Structure formats: C-alpha cells, structure tokens
Amino acid sequence: MPLDAICLTALKGELAEQIVNMSIDKIQQPERDLIVLSLRSKAVKSRKLLISAGTGDARVHLTEHKFENPKEPPMFCMLLRKHLTGAVISDVVQPQSERVLILDLETSTTLGERVKKRIIFEMIGRMSNLIITDSEGLIIDCLRRFGGDSNTKRLVLPGLIYCEPLKQEGKHDPLAVSNEMFLSLCGEQNSGYIAKWLSAQFVALSPLICREIVHRAYGDVDFRFEQIADNFEALKNEFFALIDRVKRNEFEPCLLYNKDGSLLDFSYMPILQYSGFATAMIADGFSAMLDLYFTQSAKEQRIKQKTASTLKTVKTARDRLSRKMAAQIKELEETEHREKFRQDGDIIMANLHLIKRGQTVLVAEDFYGEQGAVREIKLSELKSPQQNAAMYYKRYTKAKNARKFLDEQIKIAAEDVFYLESVIEQLERVENELELAEIRDELMNAGYIKKQFKRKQKQTVSAPMLFTSSSGMQIRVGKNNIQNDKLTFKMSLKSDVWLHAQKIHGAHVIISCEGKAPDDVTLSEAASLAAYYSASRTSTKVPIDYTLVRNVKKTPGSRPGMVIYTDYKTIMAEPKLL
C-alpha cells in the first residue's frame, strides 16, 4: 500500500521519539529523488534519515543501508548542505490527515544568530516534493519547482511564501466525521463496491485499509451496497473501530509476505483479508518496516528488470527449438511410408516389360498385398522404367537415412528444450545479481547468449543454500545448473544422499550424511525442499526421487545440471521451506 496519512501519523510519532534534538551532520543525494540525512547526537547513536520523493516510492524513515554518492553532488544537495548542515531537529509535525511531514529545525547564521528553518516533505504522487523554508515561511528552494504554467493552481518556487497542498475536493477527513454524518453519506449510496466508495469519500484511507474495513464488516472485500439492504451498522462499527484505534495511537507495523517469501504489502494494523494466502509479521518499528519493504521491493524490481531480457532470450530459444522439433516430428511421421517406396520400386522392376516410355501410371499386381490385390504406381513420363524404379528406391533410402537423422535431432532438441525450461525455472526465482551473472555465464558457454569480452577478474561464486534439519543434519540446495553440478560432483561425498523432483526441473538437494543413513525426519524435510525448489512448487504433493550420490552420473556432452541416476527410491513430499 502507499504510505498513507494514517501510516504517516504512526511513523511521525516514532520519529519524534528518535530524531528530535539530533543535528544534521551530513547530507547525501545519491539519486534524483532521494535525500539521506546523517544525524548525530551525544545522547544516542548516529542515525540516517531517508527521504524519497519518487513517484512510486515516496516515503520517509530511518535506514540502515549505505548509499554511494555521485562523483559530483547535485546543486540541490549543495544548497541543502549550505542551509541545513549543523541544524538541530526541534520537532516533527504532521498536518492532520495529510501526507505531509515537517521537520522544524534550529540553526545558526554565519554571524552566530539562531534562526528557524523547515524541511517540508510532501508525499503527493507525481507532485511529491521536498521544500526548504525560512522562519518567515519563504521558500528557500525545493526539489521540484511548480509555476509559470497556466494549469498550475499552486506555485512552489524559491522566494514565494509556502502554501499548503490543495485539499482534495469532495473528500472528508475520517478523523472529523461523526456517526450521523457517516450514516448520512452511506444513505446517499445505493450501488457499487463499498471499498471503492470509502476510498472516494475519505482522505487518509488507502485501498488496502478500505478493503480491510469491508472485510471485517461483511467477510468479503468485494461486498457491494446492493447487498447491505440499508443496514450500515456493521460498516459503521468497523469504520469507527479504525478511527478509535488511530485516536488512541494503537499502531502495529505489520509486514505481509506471500507464500513464496516475497513481500506483499505493509500496514499500521493487522490485516485479515489475506487469511490463508499471506503471512503477517510484526516489524521492530515503522522505520524498520518501511526500510525492509521498500529496500527489498526495489531489489526485487531491479533483479526482475535485469532478468527480463535474459528470460526473454531463453524463452525465444526454447520456443524456436520447440517449433523446429515439431516440424522434425512431422517429417519423421512422413518417413513411416518408406517401405511403400521400396515396394513400389520392386513392383516396377517386376513389370518392366509392361511399361512404355511416357507412361504415367502403372497398374499391376500388388504381391505385397492380399491375393489378387492391384496397386497403382505413379510414373514420371520423362524417365525410363528403370529410372522410375531407381527413383522409388532413392526415396526409400532417403527416408530410411532421414529417420535415423531425425531421431537423433529430435532427441537433441528435446534435451535442449528440457534444459532451457530448467533455466527459465531458475531465472524466475533468481534472488540477486550474482546468481543472474552465473546463469548468464552458463548460457554464454552454451551458446545461447553472445559472449562478452571483458578483462578477467576474480569472480565471486555464490554458495548453495544451506539448511539444517530438525535432527541437526546439513541439507544443501543448488540455485542453478552450474551450482547443481558443483554441489553433486565436487562438494558431496559418494555416501551422501541426493534428491531431485521426479521428471521435472528442480534443484539438486544433498543431505550431508557423514557416512550415516539420514533419519526419516531429515529425509522428509530434504524432500520438501526438493519439491519447493522445483517446477511443481505450487502442487500439494510432489514425487521426489532419492539415491546415494555415487549413483548419480553425468553423461558426456550433456548440458549443465543434466544427470542420470539409478538405484533410487521415491517418496511424496509437500513443497515447503524448513
């Protein structure tokens, strides 16, 4: 969800306790819309306050992450350093139900005179802005300047008096609405989704919270006014339960995770609408929640963008091979008639004396068919009888040789398609740039991506994932094909247990046994990991084959990660992490 006004209220209270009386020591602008203030104080440890005015990720919170400075600091960063370095934060203010946070500052002029200044951070979508004002409210400068356009209703320019953002017309402040007014607004509506109506009627309520109110009232986020029948009590009770929570400052920083471990959303209260589909976790604070959510989301988005082109290349190669294989299979089916070509040649040779040059059809006894059968054979009028027979024998030989060739080519293509599908599955769960680089190197070596000539550098290699079973045994899981080979054939003992999802793409999983047989619990947990890191992750049960590492072999010339194995057993496992 966006950082709405109520969530900002919760954050403001937390920040006020942590950064008031701290001074601004350093100022960074690592990106166009990102400002980082390093804060220090004698009483507490140093902190970093992140302010992002990005269109999709406007936010303010303390951060633990490090940021690299550009070679040359931007002009706006230089101005901030001039006016704010050494300033002490005296207060943190938020206008009621507005997505605006204000830092009141006390600083000194070059003559030692104490003056007040303000950092005003507005989180308004594409209009998000960072504005610096003096004690009189005059704008010193701003990250984004608005003015000089006939369509501009509000001027934000250096030298002008700062004016608050325009109120949203037709919307109400939920903290100022009475019971009677709420019921009156409900009575004016007789159709449509209730959650959308709440979002359109009230400021400070994100779509997530609007859906949550409706879910708690009626058990369904898609409940409509037509289903209420003028009974608004449940809706009113849940609406004002939320408002009472806000007025009592009862906030909980809540992170929501998808089943695959990725972050879904965040909120300032427990969210019940995703029951069974998402897992909730209470964070250590609102800054910690936002720092984790936006940092991980940005990381996932960056990896997704970098993976997209590679994924497209691999899918294109897979689809091209699949089409080629389909054409070869069709051609192979046509070779099934090769015996008929040989028979036609034999019948022509047996009836040479009946054929005249220029004849186009031979009708003769079919001694390959039932008794008394007759076969019609097309002839080329430009060829002699012997040449016509040779033509059919040639077709037979060509079809026979083509079958052998096509069998080999289809087998190779099928193996390559299977291999590329395994790479696609791995690309879809890449977690960092190192893993992506390893897969790209693998594809370059396989000839699917053009090799890039770079200076040889010492390359960091990612390690397999490491888990510990309930019984204390180590379980390792490969992340990609190269790593699967390394894990199975270089990092494991012959007596270790190897597991893999049956007949589908998946990770190699190794139980480090140290000469002992794994207990049933460890075997079951390792099988669950093999199922989770396979193409059948979303299934309820997955067949998992397991055997000793000594029974796993690499065939000469096979693709990375492709193996054959013998003397195995199979168990059913539920895909899940330990």
CATH number at residue 65: 2.30.310.10
Mean pLDDT check: name the lowest of 208-217, 288-297, 498-507: 288-297
CA distance 278 to 258: 5
Alpha-carbon separation of residue 356 from 139, 143, 348, 361, 366 (angstroms): 106, 95, 12, 10, 19
Q: Distance between CA 292 and CA 284 in Å, rounded?
A: 11
Instruction: Evaluate whether residue 165 is within a structural domain.
Output: no
Domain-located, residue 59: yes
Same domain membership, residue 449 and residue 318: yes
CATH number of the CATH domain containing 406 = 1.10.287
Whether residue 451 is found in the same domain as residue 481 = no
What would the pLDDT profile of 452-469 be if each residue is shown by its tens digit? 655 455 555 678 999 999
Domain final residue pick, 431, 462, 493 = 462
- How big is the chain, counted in residues? 578
In the predicted model, is pLDDT for residue 541 greater than 70? yes
pLDDT digits (tens, 9 = 90+) for 118-157: 999 999 888 899 999 999 999 999 999 988 665 667 899 9
Establish if 23 belongs to a structural domain.
yes
Clarify whether residues 521 and 504 are in a common domain. Answer: yes
Q: Are residues 196 and 340 in the same domain?
A: no
Q: What is the CA radius of gyration of the chain?
A: 36
Domain count along the chain: 4
In a domain, 147, yes or no: no
Residue appearing with tokens 């998402």:
278
Residues 70 and 201 in one domain: no
Find all residues with CB under 8 Å of 379, minimum gap 6, and list them.
348, 355, 359, 360, 361, 362, 385, 388
Same domain, 454 and 478: no
Residues 471 and 520 in one domain: yes
Q: Which of 289-293, 318-322, 424-428, 452-456 has the lowest mean pLDDT?
A: 452-456
Q: Please compute, for residue 577, the number of CA atoms within 13 A of its CA located in the half-sphere on the CB side.
A: 6
pLDDT higher for 497 or 425? 497
Is 190 part of any domain?
A: yes
Determine the distance from the C-alpha atom of residue 218 to the mean position of all C-alpha atoms in its chain, rounded to a whole number: 32
| 56 within domain boundaries | yes
Same domain? For 334 and 260 the reply is no
Q: Residues 47-94: pLDDT tens digits?
A: 999 999 987 789 999 998 888 788 788 999 999 999 999 999 999 999
- Answer yes or no: do 455 and 319 share one domain: yes
- The amino acid at residue 1 is M
Domain that holds residue 218: 174-292
Q: What pLDDT shows up at residue 301?
A: 74
> Exposure of 248 by Cβ count < 10 A (0-12 exposed, 13-18 middle, 19+ buried)?
exposed
188 or 110: which leads in pLDDT: 188
Averaged pLDDT, 1-29: 92
Q: Which residues, in sequence order, are CB contacts of 255 under 8 Å at separation 6+?
A: 263, 265, 266, 280, 281, 282, 283, 289, 292, 293
Q: 223 and 101 in one domain?
A: no
Q: What confidence category does residue 330 fall into, taking pLDDT thresholds of 50, 70 and 90?
A: confident
Point out the domain boundary residue: 292, 322, 349: 292
Eight-class DSSP state of 89: E
pLDDT at position 455, please? 47
Identify the pLDDT of residue 354: 86
154, part of any domain: no
Residue 458 lies inside a defined structural domain of this protein: yes
Consecutive H or E run containing 132:
strand 129-133
Last residue of a domain, one of 438, 462, 486: 462
> Can you give the pTM of this predicted structure?
0.61
Same domain, 326 and 452: yes
In this structure, the answer to whether residues 194 and 278 fall within a common structural domain is: yes
Buried b (16+ CB within 10 A) or exposed e, 60-95: bbbbeeeeeeeeeeeebbebbbebbeebbbeebebe
